[in-house]
Amino acid sequence: MNSRREGGAKRGRPRKEPGTIPFWQFRRVAAVIPLYDEARKHGEKHCAAVQYAAVKARCLHPNMRISETEVKRILAIWRPRGEQMVMHFKKKFLTEREDIERHRWILEKAKELMESNGQKVRTRSGGAGNRAPQIIQFGFAPAPNYPRVNQKEDKK
């Protein structure tokens, strides 16, 4: 049996490049993990924090498909138990005028590059032009420690 069809195209689903994920999946991770961390910082238990992250993500990003199960999958991959260092995401609003101008300049150059390569450029509609741009910083940080609320006290 030949793996190529008469037209020359391979059969089946195209293979993914190992060790990579599509941008939309990374964007979903970057949206969910800060929401989960926010709920845990306010003292919510894991189950309630997962629910909060899913509901809040659907409110903030109506086009993003997210469920509690998907939040749990994201946490299992990006925040595994027992790890010392994990991926950390932090939302931040740009406040300095130079930072805002540099951010808008980078977006404009990216738009020009995409147009020169013949790619379609999507622009956001709405009143987002007047408010400060929001960025997401990410990197590795020590794993957060969420102590149990109902932990037994040591006998003395």
Tokens read off for 16: 């993914």
Give dist(CA 141, CA 3) in Å, integer: 46
Q: What angle do CA 97, 110, 92 make, to 5 degrees?
A: 40
The phi, psi pair for 40, rounded to 5°, reads -65, -35
Task: Report the pLDDT value the prediction gives residue 35, as an integer from 0 to 100.
Answer: 94
Give dist(CA 91, CA 127) in Å, integer: 20
Specify the range with the lowest mean pLDDT, choosing from 39-43, 68-72, 91-95, 146-150: 146-150
Question: Has this prediction a pTM greater than 0.85?
Answer: no
Task: Report the pLDDT value the prediction gives residue 127, as an integer from 0 to 100.
Answer: 45
Task: Report the pLDDT value the prediction gives residue 136, as an integer from 0 to 100.
Answer: 81
Residue ranges per structural domain of the chain: 23-120+133-142
Paired sense of beta strands 85-93 and 134-142, if any:
antiparallel
Tokens read off for 34: 């800060």
User: Which residue, 25, 35, 75, 42, is CA-closest to 56?
Assistant: 35
Q: Is 133:103 a contact under the CB 8 Å cutoff?
A: yes
CA distances from 62 to 29, 51, 56, 66, 137 (A): 15, 16, 10, 9, 22
Beta-carbon-side half-sphere exposure of residue 90 (alpha carbons within 13 Å): 10
Name the band, by pLDDT with cuts 50, 70 and 90, for residue 144: confident
Task: Report the pLDDT value the prediction gives residue 126, as an integer from 0 to 100.
Answer: 45
Instruction: List beta partners, residue 72.
Output: none
Query: SS3 for 132?
Result: coil
User: Would the pLDDT of 106 be above 70?
Assistant: yes
CB atoms within 10 A of CB 74: 21
